Chains A and B, each alone.
Chain A
Amino acid sequence: MRDALGSVQTALVVGGGSDIGLATARQLVDSGAETVILAARRPEALEGRTDELRKAGATVHVVEFDADDTASHEAFIAAQGELVGDIDVVLLAFGVLGDGTVNTDPQEAARLLHTNFVGAASVLLAAANQLRNQGHGAIVVLSSVAGERVRKTNFVYGASKAGIDGLAQGLGDALAGSGVDVIVVRPGFVHSKMTRGLSPPPFSTTPEEVADAIADALRTRRRVVWVPSVLRLVMIVARHLPRSIFRRLKF
C-alpha cells in the first residue's frame, strides 16, 4: 500500500535491467519499499546488480519478461500478484532505441514499434486490470521528450513514445476514481547504457534524477513528469514551432 507520503511497499519494475529501472528500484527501497520484482528479458544479466537492493533491506525477485511475447503478459502480471500479493507500483522501463537503420528499414522499424509500443501497451493494460482489481496502485510509464514532438533524426522511436504516452494518458483518465494512478514520465536524453556513445543534446539527465522525479511524483501525485523539469517549458516552445523551422533544428 502506498502511504500518505508516497512510499510504496511492493514494486514491479518491468525492464528491471535498465539503468532507470534499477535506479528507481534503489530509490523506492531507500524510502521504504520492502519487496521489489525486477523483470528482465535476460534475468541472468542482473546477477550481481541486485546485491545493493538486498543490502538496503529489500526482498528482491528477478523474473523473466519478454516484451514482444504479448500473449504472455496477462499471465506474467498475474504471476507477480501471486508472488508478492498487492503490487503498489508498476514501472514500465523497457524499450529499445533502434540502430542507424531503423529510420529506413521497415522490418527494423516494425520490430522497434512492436517492443516499445505494442509490447508496452499490452503489459500496461494487463497491469492496469490487476491494479484496478486490487483497488489501488500506481503505474509509471517511461515516455520520452522524443514523443512530445517527433523529430526527423529518430522519428520511429519518437512515434513509439508518442503512442505509448497518449495511450497511458488516456488510460489514466479512464482509471480516474478506481484508486489507480497512471504517471507519465518524459525524460530528456538520459546518460545510460542505452545511449552510450551518443552525443548528449542540451538538458540531458541521469537515471538517478529520473528515479528522484518518479519518487517525487508518487508523493505529490503528479501525473506528468518532465526530467529535468525545465523541459516542460522548452517543449511548450518546441511544440509550437512551425515545421519549416523545426525541421532545420540540429539535435
Chain B
Amino acid sequence: MTAMGGIGAIHAGQGVITVAAGVSLDSLMRTVVPQGWFVPVSPGTSFVTVGGAIAADIHGKNHHVDGSFCDHVLSFEMRTPDGELRVVLPDRDPEVFWATAGGMGLTGVITSATLRLLRIETSRIRVDTDRVSDIDELMALMESGDAHYRYSVAWIDPLAGGRHLGRAVLSRGDHASLADLDERERRDPLRFNPVSRLAAPPWMPNGLVRRATVQAFNEVWFRKAPKSQRDALHSLRAFFHPLDGVRGWNRVYGSQGFLQYQLVVPTGEEDTLRNLVERLSSAGSPSFISVLKRFGPGHGLLSFPIAGWTLTVDLPTGVAGLGQLLDELDERVVEAGGRVYLAKDSRLRPHLLPRMYPELTRWREIQAALDPKGVMRSDLARRLHLVSSSRDA
C-alpha cells in the first residue's frame, strides 16, 4: 500500500492536508513537522499508512482529549467494490464515513484522505513522569490528572502481583512551546530527524522470553524510571515511537512470535480492570511492559474506543493454555460491556463479536449495500464472520 504515495501541500494557516492513502505516518511526519505541524493522532508505531489509520480508526495517547484518527479526517476518497470512486464526507455521507472508520478495510479501498493537522511550535514534548506503586493509585492519578494533559500513557509491569499489582510509570505531557526550549535548541526548534534504525539480530535463541528473564527486565525498567519528574523535554520519536528505532524488535519472542491483546472496559469498571490485571499477573505469561490508558467516547460503528480504560499486553504465543486464558478474559470484558481491538485481534471467538460491537448489524447492512457481491474479504472477516454469511460461499 505504501506504493500509493504522495503528500499534498498544507493549506496555509488551516493545517489541512491531502495525502495518498499509502503514505505512512512516518513519512507524513518527516514532511510536516519541520513546517510546524504534527499528525493529529499518533499510535505506538509510525509505520502505519493513512489508509490503514482510517480502516482501524486508530487511537493514540491523546484519545481522552482529541478522539481517534477519523475524528480529524475531513474527507476521504474511496473506490467502492462497484468500481465507483466516492468522495466521502462525514456530514454528507455519515453512514459510509462511520462504517469505513474502523471498518477494517471491508467497505472499499481508500485512495486518499484530507486531514486536519495539529499546530506545533517545537518538535519536543514536555513530559511529566510519575512512578506509581499499584494499580489503584495509578487509576486515581489518571482520573484526576489526565484532563490537564494532551498525552497520557501508563506503562504497567504485568508480572508484578500482590501489593505491587499494576505498578506503573505514568508518562504525561504536551507539545513544548518555544519558551520551553533553551537558547541553543531554540535556533532549530522543529528539528526532526528520527534516529537511524538499529536492527535486532536476525536470529534470537528461543526460550529467551521466560518469566524469570522478563521479570528481571521489568524490574530494571521500573527502577530506572524517575520517581517523579516534571517538564522533561523528550523528542517526538522517544515519546511516541520508542520501538520504531529498533527494526525487528519482535524477534526477541523467538520463532513462535507473540500476539498483542488489547481490551477496553467502560469507565466505572475499574474493579473489572483490576481483576483482569490480576488474572494476567497470576497466569504468569512472560509479558514485557504493558500499556494502560484512558479513552474518551468513540464514533465509528466498529471503532474500538469507548469511554473507559484500555489495556494492551504482549503475550508470547508459545505458552500453552494461552487460548483458554484469553477466552476467559474475553468473557469478563464482554460482561463488563467492553470489547477487544479488531486491528490487533488474531484469535477472538466470533460469537462474542456482536456483544462487543452492538452496532455490528447496522455496519453489516451498510457494508452489504456497498459490496453486494461480497468482493471485499480478509482473513479477519473470514474468521470473525464479519461479512454476512449468505455471501460467504
Partner-B contacts on A (CB < 8 A): 1, 3-5, 7, 9, 31-32, 82, 85-86, 136, 219-220
In the complex, the answer to whether B393 meets A7 with C-beta atoms within 8 Å is no
Q: Does any Cβ of A come within 8 Å of B347's Cβ?
A: yes
In the bound complex, CA of A205 to CA of B256 (Å): 27
Interfacial chain A residues near B349, Cβ < 8 Å? 32
In the complex, the answer to whether B346 meets A3 with C-beta atoms within 8 Å is yes
Partner-A contacts on B (CB < 8 A): 256, 259, 317-318, 322-323, 346-347, 349-350, 379, 382-383, 389, 392-393
In the bound complex, CA of A136 to CA of B318 (Å): 22
In the complex, the answer to whether B383 meets A9 with C-beta atoms within 8 Å is yes
In the complex, the answer to whether A4 meets B393 with C-beta atoms within 8 Å is no
In the bound complex, CA of A243 to CA of B317 (Å): 43
A interface SS class: loop
Interfacial chain A residues near B259, Cβ < 8 Å? 4-5
Interfacial chain B residues near A4, Cβ < 8 Å? 259, 317, 346-347
Interfacial chain B residues near A82, Cβ < 8 Å? 393
In the complex, the answer to whether B383 meets A3 with C-beta atoms within 8 Å is yes
In the complex, the answer to whether B347 meets A3 with C-beta atoms within 8 Å is yes
In the bound complex, CA of A220 to CA of B206 (Å): 13
Most chain A Cβ neighbours within 10 Å, of B259, B317, B323, B346: B323
State which of A7, A85, A136 has its C-beta within 8 Å of the C-beta of B347.
A7
In the complex, the answer to whether B383 meets A5 with C-beta atoms within 8 Å is no
10 contacts between A and B (CB under 8 A): A1-B382, A3-B346, A3-B383, A5-B322, A5-B346, A7-B347, A31-B323, A85-B392, A86-B382, A220-B318
State which of A9, A85, A220 has its C-beta within 8 Å of the C-beta of B393.
A85
In the complex, the answer to whether B317 meets A5 with C-beta atoms within 8 Å is yes
In the bound complex, CA of A86 to CA of B392 (Å): 9
CB-nearest residue of chain B to A2: B383
In the bound complex, CA of A175 to CA of B279 (Å): 41
CB-nearest residue of chain A to B319: A5
Known: A85-B393, A220-B256. A7 touches B323 (CB 8 A): yes
Cβ distance A196 to chain B, nearest Cβ, rounded Å: 32
In the bound complex, CA of A189 to CA of B349 (Å): 36
| 5 more A-B residue pairs beyond the given contacts A4-B259, A85-B389, with a C-beta to C-beta distance below 8 A | A3-B383, A5-B317, A9-B383, A32-B349, A220-B318
Cβ distance B257 to chain A, nearest Cβ, rounded Å: 8
Interfacial chain A residues near B347, Cβ < 8 Å? 3-5, 7
In the bound complex, CA of A85 to CA of B318 (Å): 30
Interfacial chain A residues near B379, Cβ < 8 Å? 1, 136
Interfacial chain B residues near A86, Cβ < 8 Å? 382
In the bound complex, CA of A8 to CA of B317 (Å): 16
Interfacial chain A residues near B350, Cβ < 8 Å? 9
